[in-house]
Amino acid sequence: MTAISDLYQTADWKSEKHVPVIEAPDAVTPDEVFEVKVSLGKEVAHPNTTEHHIRWIRLYFQPEGGKFPYEVGSFEFCAHGESVDGADQGPVYTNHCATASLKVNKAGTLLATAFCNIHGLWENASPLSLR
């Protein structure tokens, strides 16, 4: 039996276009709102076509010493050039990038996951400390 954790892939986002890039401060003030941006293809562009695209990104926060992560946001990308005229003939394409505003009262880890319709599940993590 395969565990879901076995299905997630990771690598250095600077050389692998499927790895979520987490852009956030290294340290934040407790209970003060800050922004986190999650994207794919920052260094190596990821296609956004009907045939090959990022379907969703999810952002989590795992508090230090906590048993479970908390889901911060789930972002779906539904327009990839589909059209009644054919693949990649549509009038709209969503970009695989999302920004969330949040506040925390504990240090921990930001976790991002993404799903490519061809290459599956990918993950990345970024530590977050308190000032």
The residues carrying an active-site annotation are 16-18, 46, 52, 116, 119
Mean predicted lDDT score pLDDT of the chain? 96
pLDDT at res. 2 = 87
Mean pLDDT within 45-51: 94
How far, in Å, CA of 35 to CA of 8, rounded?
25
Compute CA distances 42 → 12, 49, 85, 117, whole Å: 11, 17, 31, 19
User: What are the domain boundaries of the chain?
Assistant: 9-130
How far, in Å, CA of 27 to CA of 92, rounded?
37
For domain 9-130, give its CATH number from 3.30.60.50, 2.60.40.730, 3.40.50.300, 2.40.400.10. 2.60.40.730
Bridge partner list, 110: 61, 126
Q: What is the pTM of this model?
A: 0.94
Q: Which of 113, 9, 131, 111 is nearest to 61 (CA)?
A: 111
pLDDT at res. 79 = 96
CA 97, distance to chain mean position in Å, is 8
Strands 27-28 and 54-63: unpaired
Bridge partner list, 108: 63, 128
Inform me whether the pLDDT recorded for 115 exceeds 90.
yes
